[in-house]
């Protein structure tokens, strides 16, 4: 509890100082099933109730919120992220309760959340520093399949923000369909989500050529997999850095994904069969690499966020993220994912 309290104090004390810098710390975190304890009849959330098979009590929910707050407040050298995308939140109320764990007196973050039609009732959300960024507008974009009228998944949350120096940052928060049932069988579902996001990216680029588009989320695909690489067209080379016309022609892509180059199995956001993978990642418009752009990607800043307390320390799963449940066994941990982050420099 001492660490949780100190993390809270650091996050609050430094929040004012952070607003004076021209650097943005942008992160995404799948926080694994942040449910309240109330059974919602229209969704499949009965396991996450006191009477459900997971025995999800208010005490366990409170500890979960403290654990996530511990991670968030430790980010960015104790200042917390300036923009934070979240996956697997049940509703706005649990996001507000989470926020109260690390910012009770200084209302630094604005919350953007919309209910999604996901059968389990889990949504995405975005937190942003209201001292550094102003909300322009937002929308929830449905992901649907014409061939499966009854199929439902999480919406894509589009949030347009404006910096103090009037640049626009358009953030798309994603949680693509999982691989449950097999990768090959579920590839078409993630392809559907990728096409929705690609249309949104193209539309934003046309409407605001100088604005920066940031595509973040849990994609349940690695950067080189078909949906991110071929449909979304997110690549490992930033065209702003290309030196020749031939190099640009070879490396054409709609977005730059700095995680593609570091997804080598030695680091990641998720560990599967003892191999780290970046199934959570963040892509950017190519303008982020241009020396003439007012918003520039900080080279080498893409990484997972890992503090030692977030990992299993013993047993067969030592080195894996310490999650809340292992099957039906309560572990009292953080999440089965690690957060991912990038940094941007804002030039006036």
- Sketch the domain layout of the chain as residue ranges: 2-346
State how far Cα 323 lies from the chain centre: 17
- Return the H-helix or E-strand segment holding 75: helix 58-78
3-state secondary structure of 308: helix
How large is the angle between the packed helices 58-78 and 2-18, nearest 10 degrees? 50
CA nearest 255: which of 222, 282, 221? 282
CATH 3.60.10.10, domain 2-346, yes or no: yes
Who's near 337: CB < 8 A, 6+ residues apart? 29, 30, 31, 32, 87, 218, 269, 270, 279, 280, 321
User: What's the CA gap between 173 and 37, in Å, rounded?
Assistant: 25
State the Cα–Cα distance between residues 287 and 205, nearest whole angstrom: 10
Element (H, E) at 342: strand 340-346
Residue 20 burial class via C-beta count within 10 angstroms: exposed 0-12, middle 13-18, buried 19 and up: exposed
Longest Cα separation, the chain: 63
- Give every CB contact of residue 181 below 8 A, 6+ residues apart in sequence: none
Listed residue (114, 182, 127) closest to 154, CA to CA: 114
pLDDT score recorded for residue 107: 60
pLDDT tens-place values along the chain, 348 residues long: 444 444 444 454 334 433 344 899 999 999 999 999 999 999 999 999 999 999 999 999 999 999 999 999 999 999 999 999 999 999 999 999 999 987 644 568 999 999 999 999 999 999 999 999 999 999 999 999 998 999 999 999 999 999 999 999 999 999 999 999 999 999 999 999 999 999 999 999 999 999 999 999 999 999 999 999 999 999 998 886 544 444 444 446 899 999 999 999 999 999 999 999 999 999 999 999 998 899 999 999 999 999 999 999 998 899 999 999 999 999 999 999 999 999 999 988
């Amino acid at each position: 509890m001492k660490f949780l309290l100190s993390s809270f104090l650091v996050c609050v004390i430094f929040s004012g100082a952070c607003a004076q810098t021209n650097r943005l710390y942008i992160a995404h975190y799948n926080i694994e099933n942040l449910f309240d304890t109330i059974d919602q009849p229209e969704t499949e959330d009965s396991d996450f109730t006191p009477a459900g098979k997971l025995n999800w009590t208010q005490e366990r929910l409170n500890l979960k919120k403290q654990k996530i707050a511990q991670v968030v407040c430790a980010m960015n050298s104790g200042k917390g992220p300036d923009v934070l995308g979240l996956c697997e939140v049940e509703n706005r109320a649990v996001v507000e309760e989470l926020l109260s764990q690390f910012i009770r007196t200084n209302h630094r973050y604005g919350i953007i959340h919309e209910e999604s039609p996901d059968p389990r009732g889990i949504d995405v959300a975005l937190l942003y520093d209201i001292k550094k960024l102003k909300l322009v507008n937002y929308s929830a974009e449905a992901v649907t399949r014409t061939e499966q009228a009854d199929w439902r998944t999480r919406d894509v949350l589009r949030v347009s923000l404006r910096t103090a120096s009037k640049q626009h940052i358009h953030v798309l928060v994603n949680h693509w369909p999982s691989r449950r049932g097999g990768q090959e069988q579920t590839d078409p579902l993630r392809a559907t989500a990728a096409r929705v996001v690609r249309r949104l990216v193209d539309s934003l680029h046309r409407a605001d050529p100088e604005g920066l588009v940031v595509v973040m989320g849990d994609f349940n695909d690695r950067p080189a997999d078909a949906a991110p690489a071929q449909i979304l067209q997110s690549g490992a080379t930033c065209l702003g850095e290309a030196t020749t016309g031939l190099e640009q022609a070879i490396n054409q892509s709609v977005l730059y994904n700095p995680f593609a180059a570091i997804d080598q199995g030695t680091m990641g956001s998720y560990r599967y069969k003892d191999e780290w993978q970046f199934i959570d990642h963040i892509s950017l418009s190519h303008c982020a690499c241009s020396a003439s752009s007012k918003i520039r990607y900080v080279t080498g800043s893409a990484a997972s966020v890992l503090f030692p307390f977030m990992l299993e320390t013993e047993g067969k799963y030592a080195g894996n993220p310490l999650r809340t449940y292992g099957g039906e066994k309560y572990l009292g941990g953080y999440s089965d994912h690690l957060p991912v982050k990038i940094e941007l420099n804002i030039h006036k």
